[in-house]
Amino acid sequence: MKLWGLRTRLLVAFSLLVVITAATVAGGTYVQSRTLILQQAQDATARVLVDKATALYPLGPLPPSDATLNRISGELADRDLNSLVFYEDKAVGSAQMRALISPELRAEVKSGSVAWQRVMSEGTPMLVVGTAFTVVLPNGKRQASGIEAYVARWLVPEQQNIGELATRAWLIGGLALVFAIGLALLAARGVLRPVRELGDAAKRLGEGDLRARISVRGSDELAGVARTFNETAESLERHVGELERMEADARRFVADVSHELRTPLAAMTAVADVLEQEASSLPGDAGRAAKMSIEETHNLTRLVNDLIEVSRFDAGAAALAPEEVDVAEVVAASLRIRGWTNEVEGDLPSGIFAGWDPRRIDVIVANLVGNALRHGEKPVSLRLSETGEQITLEVSDRGPGLAPEVLPHVFDRFYKADSARARSGGSGLGLAIAWENARLHGGTLSAANGTDGGAVFTLRLPRRGAAE
């Protein structure tokens, strides 16, 4: 599982939602229940105090005697209640309660109200409730007697109930979290399965499997995405199929035309050879025209031969005819046949043997060196070396090098970096053919710029070709 993937985000979102909801509901319920429990305890204690106080009338003459105050305190106290009675500065009853009664509570009771206050005694909550006694005058009016009565009770049962409520709230929250995680996993599974299928199908499509499709389930947004993907894949497969058919037709056309041109070109070449022998004796424009015809005939012959070679690569018909050769001798022979021996600086140590196709190595060398001589600047150098089972041939020149935008396309067919060279002697296929021959041997051909300027083409081939 990814650290912050979709599954994780769904789990966190569901968990937060349920936890917040559960905390809100449980917290609200806890607060309301706690308030209700305490309110019931307060009301019950206040009713007991008022009922007991009412039962004590008549109080007797004022000011009350100590006996009257003791009687009141004794009647108000029981097993669950402690009592304390005040009259002015006198206090009768539980001496411990005196520290629990605040001045604010006494002031509220003296005003004629039944007042209460929750306090802590030795770490335990207690409820203190107080009331003031009144007397009825002969004229029927009520008057404060100055007697204040207070009762106190422990809130331990209520505290236990409140603790149980808190425990239940935590338990409900925990169960809600477990439920949320389970629900999130189910939701994530339902959401991630089509997403995963979509990702796998997209990966297969990117790798070239144009028949990659995904199952469409339901009618929701994910199903819509699946349908869109399938429609896109079908459209892509159809267009790629059309392009492949068009490309195959174009290749077949080029191959057919190239083969059909070989016969008339052979005749034209024979005529050009005869004409070349007589061109020097032809006067003026006729001689120039003859030389141009001869040159263009040779260029057309090279183009047709290159097209035929490319068509073999496209058809998968190109094959190696490997021989055990001295690589330095093959390279030197290629330079010697074309008259380039004095134009190229060679570092070609003998004794490096390999199982290669000498004809195809000759084609690679001819294209690389010819390209350097035509488009670079002298001196052009060749350097042959070996490292283990890999042999490297490097061709470099001292020209301006290759522009950055040219490097990615230098081995493309018919690519020419300079439009001014569109009518140059090259067919635009030489480097592409060299690259295909390197690949056929199981090696690589790369282009770069040298540190001192100029283009550098590096051929790396295994000592034993791919066909062996």
Per-position DSSP letters for 229-270, written without gaps between them: HHHHHHHHHHHHHHHHHHHHHHHHHHHHHHHHHHHHHHHHHH
- Judge contact between 162 and 140, C-beta under 8 A: no
Beta bridge partners of 456: 396, 448
Band of pLDDT at residue 453, cut at 50, 70 and 90? confident
Spatial neighbors of 36 by CB under 8 A, at least 6 apart, are none
Yes or no: say if 195 and 189 are a contact pair by the CB < 8 Å rule: no
Q: What is the pLDDT of residue 423?
A: 46
For the segment 71-123, what is each residue's pLDDT rounded down to a tens digit? Answer: 888 888 888 788 888 888 888 888 788 888 888 888 888 888 888 888 888 78
CATH 3.30.420 describes domain 6-163: no
How far out from the chain centre does Cα 466 lie?
39
C-beta atoms surrounding 285 within 10 Å: 8
Backbone angles phi, psi at 220, to 5 degrees: -85, -170
Does 323-462 match 6-163 at the fold level?
Answer: no
Name beta bridge partners: 354. Answer: 325
Read off the tokens for 243: 């392009």
Highest-scoring range by mean pLDDT, 90-99, 218-227, 380-389, 419-428 = 380-389
pLDDT value at residue 7? 66
Whether the Cβ atoms of residue 398 and residue 454 lie closer than 8 Å to each other: yes
Q: Is residue 2 classed exposed, middle or buried when 0-12, 13-18 and 19+ CB atoms within 10 A define those classes? A: exposed
Residue 448 or residue 422, greater confidence: 448
Give 129's strand partners.
116, 151
Other C-beta atoms closer than 10 Å to the C-beta of 431 total 22
42 or 457, higher pLDDT? 457
Tell me the CATH architecture of domain 323-462: 2-Layer Sandwich (3.30)
Count each helix (H run) and each strand (E run) in the chain, helices first. Answer: 9, 12
Integer-rounded Cα Rg, in Å, for the chain is 53
DSSP collapsed to 3 states, 262-297:
HHHHHHHHHHHHHHHHHHCCCCHHHHHHHHHHHHHH
Q: What are phi and psi of 319, to 5 degrees?
A: -140, 155
- How would residue 419 be classed by pLDDT, with cut points 50, 70 and 90? very low
Cα separation, 364 vs 376, in Å, equals 17
pLDDT of the residue at 420: 41
Mean pLDDT of 423-447: 83
Q: Taken in order 15, 20, 21, 23, is the CA torsion positive or negative? A: positive
pLDDT score at 5? 65
| Residue 151 and residue 83 in contact, taking contact as beta carbons nearer than 8 Å | yes
Q: Which amino acid is at 367?
A: N
Confidence of residue 360 (pLDDT cuts 50, 70, 90): very high
Give residue limits of the domains in the chain.
6-163, 248-315, 323-462
Band of residue 329 on the pLDDT scale cut at 50, 70, 90:
very high
- Contact call for residues 88 and 152 (beta carbons, < 8 A): no
DSSP 78-103: -SS-EEEEEETTEEEE-GGGGGG--H
Supply the pLDDT for residue 353. Answer: 93
- The 10s digit of each residue's pLDDT in 371-397 is 899 888 888 999 999 998 999 999 999
Comparing 128-137, 198-207, 234-243, 262-271, which segment has the lowest mean pLDDT?
262-271
Tell me the pLDDT of the chain averaged across its residues. Answer: 82
